Amino acid sequence: MAQKIYSTKSSFLALFNTTLAGPERTLIEDTLWQLYLNSDRFSQLVDATFPTGTAPHPIIFQYAANTAVTLLDISSDPFNQFAPYTADNYTAPSAAQTDITIQFGGDPTNGALFFDERGNLVNYSYEQALAHELIHALTGHTDGAAATILATQGQNALGYTVQDALDHLSDPNNSLMGPTVEIENEISSQIAGNHFRPGYFNNVVDIGQSRDSRTEDQVVDSVLTLRGFRSKAGSGDVLKVDLHARAETSLIYGSAGREMIVGSSEDDYLYGLNSDDVFFGNNGFDFIHGGDISAPYGTDGQDVVDYRLWNSYDASDADAPQPPHQK
């Protein structure tokens, strides 16, 4: 373990201010202290932010039921997704600009799942959620421009749309994780029981899905789920996901609406879920499922697979993946 500035729990917790009380406050304070003790990456962030043992502008915790959100100092990041827009410019968060407010209450991870790098559905832990918000607070990092666009679509003079956010992710220079999740994964690797999160847009609500791997237990570089995009789009909108320029193995997991999904140039696992979807596999050895392995046939719409982006395909290949499916 690296040398840490704060040797006592009381001196460490003095860096934070909170309006919370009772069990909620105890849980957050205990979790913060365990993160500091057990993760060198987390303690490095804290010590670099508060190197003198004082916090002239402490991080403020406020209660908001089942919520995890950070209000950053917008003066340090003019493209900050947490600062609300006006038609002309950004408006400041309610806290003083020298302070950072984290709204975190209840259990924001209740029922929250994501896919790990082997395509398994795993629980998003309380430690991960709290670390994620603290990374925002300690570094000023956002979740990436696509997250900013999605969070603010239709709310500013630029008129961003949900599709603009997806189009941003088609550029291979733009990370599907974002800078905050990248650090979150470093911290998670040092905390027992936490899982690697191969994408920021990687949320799934537990509605009884199979826990079987969606990638046949193969490791993928990135995961993109479309649930969050669908929640911001019109029910009849066709969401277009085009990763053909990205050279990374991917799991793309659709939504209850219609999608057009184009895979990367590597091996991909593409799921449409409900409704009528169109798939372009692109290069690589791709696995395509119009619905999901949890659902019976006939409930996932009428889907189309277009082979025009394939270099070759041999349906008789004995090594071709054979997905499980409820009959």
Kindly report the average pLDDT of the chain as a whole number.
Answer: 78
Instruction: List, in order, residues 6 or more apart from 154 with CB less than 8 Å away.
Output: 160, 161
Decide if 310 contacts 282 (C-beta within 8 A): yes
| pLDDT for 84 | 32
Closest CA to 323 of 272, 282, 283, 247: 272
Q: What percent of the chain has pLDDT over 90?
A: 33
| Cα–Cα dist 243/247, whole Å | 9
Q: Which residue has the tokens 């949900």?
A: 162
Decide if 92 contacts 47 (C-beta within 8 A): no
| Cα–Cα dist 223/251, whole Å | 5
pLDDT, tens digit (0-9, with 9 covering 90-100), for 158-195? 678 899 999 999 999 998 999 999 999 999 999 988 99
| pLDDT for 327 | 32
| pLDDT for 251 | 96
| Cα–Cα dist 229/150, whole Å | 7
| pLDDT for 58 | 67
The counts of H helices and E strands in the chain are: 8, 15
Decide if 221 contacts 198 (C-beta within 8 A): yes
Burial class (CB in 10 A: 0-12, 13-18, 19+), 327: exposed
| Cα–Cα dist 109/128, whole Å | 9
Instruction: List, in order, residues 6 or more apart from 23 with CB less than 8 Å away.
Output: none
Is the pLDDT confidence value at 320 over 70? Answer: no
pLDDT, tens digit (0-9, with 9 covering 90-100), for 12-41? 988 887 777 788 888 889 999 999 999 999
Decide if 180 contacts 146 (C-beta within 8 A): no
| pLDDT for 42 | 95
| pLDDT for 69 | 73
Is the pLDDT confidence value at 323 over 70? Answer: no
Is the pLDDT confidence value at 156 over 70? Answer: no
Is the pLDDT confidence value at 74 over 50? Answer: no
pLDDT, tens digit (0-9, with 9 covering 90-100), for 259-298? 999 999 999 999 988 888 889 888 888 888 888 877 766 6
What separation in angstroms does the CA of 257 have from each of 107, 196, 262, 291, 301? 28, 28, 16, 11, 10
Decide if 309 contacts 292 (C-beta within 8 A): no
Which DSSP state fits 266?
S
| pLDDT for 33 | 96
pLDDT, tens digit (0-9, with 9 covering 90-100), for 188-242? 999 988 999 999 999 886 556 677 899 999 999 999 999 889 888 877 899 999 9
